[in-house]
Chains A and B, each alone.
Chain A
Amino acid sequence: MSEGLTRARAQLASMSDPDITLYRLHACPFCERVVRALDAHGLEYRSRFVEPLHSDRDVVKRISGKRTVPAIVDENTGVTMSESANIVEYVERTYGGDGA
């Protein structure tokens, strides 16, 4: 593969791979609460939708140890976290500085 193509692919990967991954459930108000907090701070994130049935959420259990959603993984800080109130607080604390 040419160097140019390699570089182009790496750039594309970094554009399409935000640091934050949100595990969410379609129509879950707790998840939408986190979406709102992320959007409010202009943060890029990828959404991964999981199954409503608790027992079908092994993908979430693997990353957070629990099957509850929302859960986020922030590769920027190495943090993995569940519970919407905790996540919103974390987002505010980590990204809510607005230069102050």
Chain B
Amino acid sequence: MDLGFEVVSLGPADHVEEGEQAPEFTRPLVDDEHWENVSLSELTDEGPVLLVFHPMAGSFPTTYIWQELVERGLEEVLTVVGVTSSDPYAQKRLVEARDMEFRLFADPANDVARSYGIEHDLDGMAGISEPRIATFLLDTDRVVRDAWVSEEWPEFPPYDDVEAAARDLAD
């Protein structure tokens, strides 16, 4: 982002890389009606998955990210799911507010982000961390085919690249 001053740098993360198998997890997966425990591999068994790590529900970057992904209609080509450290009630409100087809994992303890190497402690909010903004494109073996992790706070995904990689893999 060019704002005329230096944006806060997070530096590179020691994250799960392309070619590695994405860490498995099970968390409540939330849609506009209910939530239930679902594991990542249950989703990848059905087809490729775009895993989108986003800041907590209610924050402005989260609103922008899902607005953009909804507009791109990626749900037609693969499974898109979000993950953040919000509870299922907050994730459900986000699904409703953005009127989206995507489902969101609720991970209040932020363990999933930690296992992917993208935990972000929040300055000024003691005891609360959330994921860095990041996208991982997974094939049906749960192998990472494309990974992008933010290095600035905030920094938004390269949507065109993410979409192109997703459409390529889904073909």
Residues of A in contact with B (beta carbons under 8 Å apart): 22, 24-30, 32-33, 35-36, 47, 49, 51-52, 84-85
Q: In chain A, what residue has the closest Cβ to B122?
A: A26
Q: Within the complex, which residue of B7, B58, B124, B153 is in contact with A52, where a contact is CB–CB below 8 Å?
A: B58
B33-63 toward A: CB 8 Å interface, digit per residue (1/0)? 0000000000000000000000110111101
* Complex Cα gap A47–B122 (Å): 12
A26 and B59 form a contact (CB under 8 A): yes
Q: In chain A, what residue has the closest Cβ to B133?
A: A27
* Complex Cα gap A51–B67 (Å): 18
B5 and A27 form a contact (CB under 8 A): no
Measured between beta carbons, the chain B residues less than 8 angstroms from A33 are 5-6, 8
Q: In chain A, what residue has the closest Cβ to B123?
A: A35
B3 and A26 form a contact (CB under 8 A): no
Q: Within the complex, which residue of A29, A47, A49 is in contact with B3, where a contact is CB–CB below 8 Å?
A: A29
Q: Nearest chain B CB to A56's CB is how many angstroms away?
A: 11
Q: What are 12 A-to-B residue pairs whose CB atoms are below 8 Å?
A: A22-B124, A26-B55, A26-B56, A26-B122, A27-B60, A29-B7, A29-B8, A29-B154, A35-B123, A47-B124, A47-B125, A84-B5
